[in-house]
Structure 1
Amino acid sequence: MTFENNNSVVNAEIIIIAVYARFEFLTYNEAENKKIVVAIGLRKRMKY
């Protein structure tokens, strides 16, 4: 899932997913699902 409107936020999300994947040994699909959750959380926290 990609977001085209804010590259800095997207990059932050990708970094967060890399951290999750490293420490939780997620599969790719689990990481994708978590990225969506993290993206929604960031949008709410940052009021996007």
Structure 2
Amino acid sequence: TGSIVKVDRFEVARCSNMYKIIDHLFLICFISPTIIYEVITDAHEINLQS
């Protein structure tokens, strides 16, 4: 089983080519005030196999 979380107080920044793992211009940066709340437990997992 998995969980669903809510992320609050984060920054969005341009993604450096050195850290690029997806083809998107921006990434989420966790900072010291970042809070991650677990809002649903025992959620169904998403199968990433295609």
- TM-score category, normalised to shorter length: under 0.3
- The answer to which structure has the higher helix fraction is 1
Q: If each structure's strand is expressed as a fraction of its own residues, which one has the higher value? A: 2
What TM-score results when the alignment is normalised by the length of structure 1?
A: 0.23
TM-score normalised by structure 2 residue count: 0.23
Higher relative contact order (CA 8 A, sep 6+): 2
